[in-house]
Structure 1
Amino acid sequence: MSLSPLYNLSKLKYFDGLDNEIYAEEYDYSLSPKFQLESISLSSRGQGGGAFPKFLYHQFSLQSLDLIDIQIKGEFPNWLIENNTYLHDLYLENCSLSGPFLLPKNSHMNLSLLSISMNYFQGQIPSEIGARLPGLKVLFMSGNGFNGSIPFSLGNISSLQVLDLSNNSLQGQIPGWIGNMSSLEFLDLSGNNFSGRLPPGFDTSSNLRYVYLSRNKLQGPIAMTFYNSFEMFALDLSHNNLTGSIPKWIDRLSNLRFLLLSYNNLEGEIPIRLCRLDQLTVIDLSHNHLSGNILSWMISTHHFPQQYNSYDYMSSSQQSFEFTTKNVSLSYRGSIIQYFTGIDFSCNNFIGEIPPEIGNLSMIKVLNLSHNSLTGPIPPSFLNLKEIESLDLSYNKLDGEIPPQLTEIFSLEFFSVAHNNLSGKTPARVAQFSTFEESCYKDNPFLCGEPLPKICGAAMPSSPTPTLTNNEDDGGFIDMEVFYVTFGVAYIMVLLVIGAVLYINPYWRRAWFHFIEASINNCYYFLVDNLPILSKF
């Protein structure tokens, strides 16, 4: 429907048309509404739109404007901010706006929330944005084509609590002054082209709670420190080129819920202090060069604490991270992440056995320990993982039987123990396990039973001694390259020892030569005596 039938309602102050197909037609330009709205929310459900709604040219008392998903096209309507000096909330997400981002000519003191995400803006973020919009508390500019660097004037907005510049083409180094913004709680710079090192630290007055810096080109060690660390809820540094080890100060982040360090070049062992973070719900250390033993973990089952104000709520609703679930990388966003728990230590160099305490994480949804060098059995305590949906233990050196009690986990949707040294019979084809195919068990030489082609025989030992294999990735018990090298070295050492003994002891040397001469003569007469017989055949 068109808004034109409402134009005669002179006392109309608030209009909410979200989740409908309410819009302003272009020919309404000649009509001047009698109302002066204070708040309006419209949507078009993706319908093709034209110019900006013309009736807004006549509005001067707006305090809140929400035009999310209206396909308006054109440039940013800076006149809208200039005409409405009381405007404090402006939502223009996914409106197909393009061109440069235009600021009002004069400073607007009341605008506290500006959201222009998911448009087609290009060029640099205006350098004077901090001076023109000094009252901003929330700024969403993600999913555009902004380039250049972060304007220094943003650091002068003392009230800024939420800053989301993700998924643009911003570049350069992350400015150090960001850590001095005392009101900033939510920072998302992911999906850009930032390079160089991480900011060295954050000021003692910093209230940062969510830091997302993934999918950039950041380098060097994780040298940044958080002085007011108990406030930190989320730290995402994944998909960069970070080196060095996991810092020992990580245990200061006592309230940390999400720790994402995957797809970097981190090495060394997991600091034992990391186990002190008993509020963690998601930890992803995959695709690094970490080594040593996997430590025992306690994954928190508590939800996020109650949010205190609207800006906290806005920041939590904008949270997002990537996590591999069921062998697929998925993006988790918004309130659903409050109920998600997972551990991903895959694609590292971890050794030793799987700690049985991990089986006590009864609320965990995802556990991925694949592509390591873990040994020993699958802990029977995994029976307690009643909520798990994805369990990946493939590409290790695990041995023993698969605990048959795992069939009692009815939430399991993805399961893989392929490429190990497991033996015995596969779990019964019941419940969820009736859906798992041969690929979930393949390349375990001593494993038998459906869905594998090998049928279990009565005489087959349950835990045979592993035999040789020439494929280390297939979980072989002996590395054939190491075997050949050690055999050759031992062979050469034996020859050297025999030669040394013969050189030192003349009696043994004469006896050796006499033995060789006698052996040659015996072979010669043996052939002469038997040659006529052999010629007959």
Structure 2
Amino acid sequence: MVWLDLSNNHFTGKLLEDFGDKLLCLQYLNLSQNQFEGTLPSSLGNMRDLAKLDLAFNFFSGEVPNELLVGCSNLQHLRLSYNRLNGQFFSSKFNLSTLLQLELNNNGFTGSLLNVKLETLDILDVSNNYLRGPIPTWATKVTWIISMRNNSFEGQFPCQQPMSEGLLFLDVSHNLLSDHPPSCIDFTNIAEIHLEGNKFTGLLQDFLPNSSSSLSVLNLRDNNLSGFIPDLIGTFLNLKLLLLGKNHLKGSIPKTLCLLKNISIMDLSSNSLSGTIPSCFQNLTFGVMEKYNETLEQDQMQIMNKFIDENHIYGDLIKKNLELVIDIEAIGLNEIYLVDKNRGSSYKGSILNFMSALDMSCNNLIGEIPQELGKFTQIRALNLSHNQLMGPIPVTLSKLSNIESLDLCCNNLSGNIPLELTNLNFLEVFNVSYNNLSGEIPMKGQFSTFEESSYEGNQFLSKLPWEKRCIINAETPHLELLPSDATKGKWYEVDLLAFYACFFPAYAVFFLLIVSLLYINSH
């Protein structure tokens, strides 16, 4: 047997220790998406001809046996992702120098990448592990996909040599990388850049490609970037996700952002941006993306291996195309963190097809909320909180027919809450607290479900419904135990002389009654 595929079933149990000894001729083994458990047998290392091994999405645990990492010297594609494996995978005994695809994401691997040298890789995914140390120079030669998110890599991104011109995806987010941007990245064909949650410093413009027609995701959130938002971003016409929040950006929002006709999620929050919200944002639809990862999928990134009966023993009977498809959603990529509905949420994979949001909260924006924002008919979340916006709440926001979260708190907004907003049937979170709003609070439709905290801090709003209920309960008449004119003191004041005169005779009568009963009936 040279080809065995048991993937996508419900197999359980452990692999026998002699599993590899009984299948020495295998070239392709796929046990992914089952419920196998236990440690990997060392006999897998005896399968010298094995070229493709896929054990992803199981419950395998323990360390990967050294025999596999040394003996399977012809291995080209190795997927161990989404298991419970741990220990050091990259050791000095590592002998898999022919690998094209290596996916180890979502395990518990430790150690460093400096012990090995892999210069033939097309795909490297070691995300969501416990790897540490600097990123090795050989990583810059990976051809298509580099994903190293959620580890403890540190230092600078290696740039001793230019990266591959065909690089489509780079994700080194949530590590400890610092200093200047990875200047060696060739942005010609890159579709997604994820550098979020590191310690990068410098000007934002230094982290941008000079030009890119294929860039769809630019994620630089939660770093220490400074400077202005350059007009250059407006040239990335295919950009769908722009995430610049939690940096130290300043200046006004450039009108060139209005050229991003395909934008679906824009996060400029938690910076020091000033000025007004550009009215030309009406040119943006913030519509739902047609298809996330469209750029990647258009490249048809699947690795094919035609198994052909070279000796023609079986003719055309067993000609078969063997595919090891790159699962873009399962590879551990593309996790986007947003604050909406008063909480932080992570969006990953295909769910991003249905999400659209604009977040400009926690800045120094001034002026009125542009009427033109009412044209974002497809937007799901709009957050303008914690700024210095003034003026009325635009009635045009009632046209945001798909909005689920609208946060305008902590500004200087005035006037009434437009009654037309009650037509927003999908609104789940509404917050206008700590403004200068006045008038009645609408209590119709979804607005009847919002808590008092959505409106607090507006001293000119009429009595809140919650306060009215309390007043009604407080004014309910009580039954007076004593007439108010019967005594000038309080109703609970007692004449002690009268109390003692009543208490002791009653006590004596009760005592004598008990003694009499016991005397009459001693039992």
In the other structure, the counterpart of 2:517 is: none
Match of 2:360 among 321, 325, 345: 345
In the other structure, the counterpart of 1:361 is: 376
TM-score, length-normalised on structure 2? Answer: 0.77
- 1:98-497 correspondence runs (5 A): 98-102=86-90, 106=95, 108-109=97-98, 111-126=99-114, 128-130=116-118, 134-157=119-142, 160-176=143-159, 180-200=163-183, 202-203=185-186, 206-222=188-204, 223-296=206-279, 297=281, 298=284, 299-304=286-291, 305=294, 307-308=297-298, 309-310=300-301, 314-315=327-328, 318-430=333-445, 432-448=446-462, 450-453=464-467
- Asked which structure has the greater RCO (Cα within 8 Å, sep 6+), the reply is 2
Partner amino acid for 1:275?
C
Partner amino acid for 2:120?
G
Deviation at 1:225, TM superposition (A): 3.1
Q: Structure 1 202/95 Cα, relative in aligned 2: closer, same or farther at 3 Å?
A: closer
- What is the number of equivalent residue pairs in this alignment? 435
Secondary structure of the structure 2 residue equivalent to 1:129: coil
In the other structure, the counterpart of 2:29 is: 39
Secondary structure of the structure 2 residue equivalent to 1:230: coil
Contact 1:24 1:54 in 2 (8 A): no
- 1:65-104 correspondence runs (5 A): 65-77=53-65, 79-80=67-68, 83-84=71-72, 87-102=75-90
TM-score, length-normalised on structure 1? Answer: 0.75
How far apart, CA to CA, are the structure 2 residues paired with 1:116 and 1:217? 25
More helix by share: 1
1:20 aligned to 2:10? yes
Q: Structure 1 314/287 Cα, relative in aligned 2: closer, same or farther at 3 Å?
A: same
How far apart, CA to CA, are the structure 2 residues paired with 1:148 and 1:25? 34
More strand by share: 2
Partner amino acid for 1:440?
S
User: Unpaired segments of 5 or more residues in structure 1?
Assistant: 1-10, 456-537
Partner amino acid for 2:264?
T
Q: Percent identity?
A: 35
Deviation at 1:52, TM superposition (A): 0.6
How far apart, CA to CA, are the structure 2 residues paired with 1:175 and 1:28? 42
Secondary structure of the structure 1 residue equivalent to 2:389: strand
Contact 1:33 1:55 in 2 (8 A): no
Deviation at 1:125, TM superposition (A): 0.5
Contact 1:186 1:209 in 2 (8 A): yes
Contact 1:145 1:169 in 2 (8 A): yes
How far apart, CA to CA, are the structure 2 residues paired with 1:88 and 1:338? 33
Contact 2:73 2:95 in 1 (8 A): no
Partner amino acid for 2:222?
H
Contact 1:162 1:315 in 2 (8 A): no
4+ residue segments displaced more than 6 Å:
none
How far apart, CA to CA, are the structure 1 residues paired with 2:437 and 2:346? 33
Query: Could you report, residue by residue, the CA deviation over 1:117-159 in whole angstroms, capped at 9, with x for unpaired residues?
Result: 12222221035422xxx332111001122111111122234xx
Contact 2:3 2:29 in 1 (8 A): yes
How far apart, CA to CA, are the structure 2 residues paired with 1:372 and 1:31? 67
In the other structure, the counterpart of 1:532 is: none
How far apart, CA to CA, are the structure 2 residues paired with 1:177 and 1:263? 30
How far apart, CA to CA, are the structure 2 residues paired with 1:228 and 1:207? 10
Q: Structure 1 371/179 Cα, relative in aligned 2: closer, same or farther at 3 Å?
A: farther
Secondary structure of the structure 2 residue equivalent to 1:231: coil
How far apart, CA to CA, are the structure 1 residues paired with 2:74 and 2:115? 24
